[in-house]
Amino acid sequence: MRRIALALSLLTLVSPAFAQGVTVSPAEGNWGCTALIDNTKAGLLTVFAGSYGYASANFGSSASGTGNAEMGSDGVRFLDGNLASVGIGYGLVTFAAEGGDVLTLYNPEKAVLVCKPR
């Protein structure tokens, strides 16, 4: 009985150390994106565990594909892959005026796409 109590107490002490290395990003999930330039459907974005996949609504788009992402507490940074190669560097999660999350994707100059959870 003492061994079980000792093991549980050690597990309680060690658990926070394991949890500190895990970053939960609000950008993780499936998103439907709209182009800000003309308010048309742009594509679908999936972000999960340090990677992403994007399927453009435009046939043959060079933005479609996969890549690696760095998860953050307020969004995501696209490290490589198709979105990074077309100039989209990062996305920030904010709250929409009508409620819910919004992921806005940026190139170095401006916001390009706005995405809502699917």
Token match 């679908």: residue? 44
pLDDT at 2 over 70: no
The SS3 assignment for 88 reads coil
Number of Cβ within a 10 Å radius of residue 113: 23
Query: 67-90: per-residue pLDDT in tens?
Result: 999 999 999 999 999 999 999 999
Q: What is the CATH number of the domain that holds 35?
A: 2.40.128
Integer Cα distance of 52 and 30 in angstroms? 10
> Are 83 and 52 in contact, with CB atoms under 8 Å apart?
yes
- The amino acid at residue 39 is N
Query: 13-35: per-residue pLDDT in tens?
Result: 444 444 445 557 999 999 999 99
Integer Cα distance of 92 and 85 in angstroms? 19
Residue 110 lies in a domain: yes
Q: What is the pLDDT of residue 11?
A: 45
Residue 109 lies in a domain: yes
Can you give the residue range of the structural domain that contains 96? Answer: 23-117
Residue 1 lies in a domain: no
Residue 29 lies in a domain: yes
49 token code pair? 């565990």
Residue 108 lies in a domain: yes
pLDDT at 106 over 70: yes
Query: Considering only 15-24, 50-59, 80-89, 96-105, which range has the smallest mean pLDDT?
Result: 15-24
Residue 3 lies in a domain: no
Can you name the residues that pair with 90 across neighbouring β-strands? 77, 106
- Per the structure, the count of domains in the chain is 1
pTM, 2 dp: 0.79
